[in-house]
Structure 1
Amino acid sequence: MKKISLLILLVIQSSYAQEKEIQNTIERFFNAFHQRDSIALKKVCSENLVLHSISESEKEAKFSVEKAANFYKSIATIPLAIKFEEKILSYKVQIDGAMAHVWTPYEFYVNNKLSHSGVNSFQLYKENDGWKVVYILDTRRR
């Protein structure tokens, strides 16, 4: 009985450690994002990063695609006078081997004023040097 309990405990600890490692990758993504550091962003993202957004209004939902190069450039060129922050409200992490999905509801503030809110859906895969973001789909509503 003790061996089974120990085995269960080890599995739970391993799962928690992996979830924490994935959450840390997302936190590094947002730290780089808030610092306008495209080099640090690239370190946590796949070179084939895919970005999609769904902007929702009362009238319609609009789907958009952004190229990774444009995303990195837009982050690096945000004027320092503009303060922005994406507050992550929670993390829901799902893992299957070298693939992970992270669901993060958020609120986005510009100069301390709520701009919009929504949910980020991150897809990650595990490389030899850690987890990489390969796909981001987010919703945006005012």
Structure 2
Amino acid sequence: MILLSLLLQITPVAPIEKGTGLPPPAADEAQVLAPIEAMFAGLTARDPAAILAQVRPDGSATVAIQRADGSRAIRRQSWADFAAGVKPGPERYVERLIGPAVEIDGDIAMVWAPYDFTVDGKVHHCGTDHFDLVRENARWRVLNVTWTQRSTGCEAR
């Protein structure tokens, strides 16, 4: 969480539909980002339960893959299936958001950001993450995440 917080550069963006035209207060953004940071910590720890603790079970994870040969694929998984794919291993996984944009309207929020995914400190792939979150009982939870994934063009970030 500390590493992600240090790397975050909150991009000031005009809200999609707000009367004041001001971005949400930084404290609100931090609350929205907290379950995402916790998911990333669970991924690094290879702890499926830690990931599942941050999501609504009725949501999903969808990836749009662009392979080096130019072929493309889209894969959708339930949160249970996504978490089941997180297995123990010796490699160290780290996902890092780069300058996330956070939008909040009442009890829904969206986070959009480029990301890097490293394995043992070396960039494995990159793309853009899009998180949909909902607030229930004063707690933000990830409903869905959709991301692009490619292994080329990542070094320039």
Please, which runs of 5 or more residues in structure 2 have no aligned partner? Answer: 1-21, 152-157
Mapped contact 2:52–2:79 kept (Cα < 8 A): no
- Matching residue within 117, 126, 150 for 1:141: 150
Whether 2:92 is the aligned partner of 1:59: answer: no
- Matching residue within 36, 43, 46 for 2:46: 36
Please, which runs of 5 or more residues in structure 1 have no aligned partner? Answer: 1-11
Q: Match for residue 117 of structure 1?
A: 126
In structure 1, C-alpha distance between the alignment counterparts of 2:61 and 2:23, rounded to whole Å? 32
**Identity between Structure 1 and Structure 2 (%):** 26
Q: Match for residue 68 of structure 1?
A: 79
Q: Answer with 1 or 2: which has the greater Rg.
A: 1
Q: Match for residue 25 of structure 1?
A: 35
Q: Match for residue 5 of structure 1?
A: none
Measured against aligned partners, the alpha-carbon deviations of 1:2-52 in whole angstroms (never above 9, x if no partner) come to: xxxxxxxxxx79732211100122111111111112222122110112111
In structure 2, C-alpha distance between the alignment counterparts of 1:113 and 1:13, rounded to whole Å? 34
The SS at the match of 2:70 is coil
In structure 2, C-alpha distance between the alignment counterparts of 1:23 and 1:87, rounded to whole Å? 12
Q: Match for residue 14 of structure 2?
A: none
User: In the TM superposition, what is the alpha-carbon distance from 1:99 to its structure 2 partner?
Assistant: 0.6
In structure 1, C-alpha distance between the alignment counterparts of 2:65 and 2:150, rounded to whole Å? 6
In structure 1, C-alpha distance between the alignment counterparts of 2:145 and 2:23, rounded to whole Å? 28
User: In the TM superposition, what is the alpha-carbon distance from 1:67 to its structure 2 partner?
Assistant: 2.4
Q: Match for residue 13 of structure 2?
A: none
Q: How many residues align?
A: 129
The SS at the match of 2:49 is helix
Q: Please identify runs of 4+ aligned residues in structure 1 that moved more than 6 A.
A: none
Whether 2:59 is the aligned partner of 1:49: answer: yes
Q: Which has the higher helix share?
A: 1
The SS at the match of 1:23 is helix
Output the TM-score relative to the length of structure 2.
Answer: 0.75
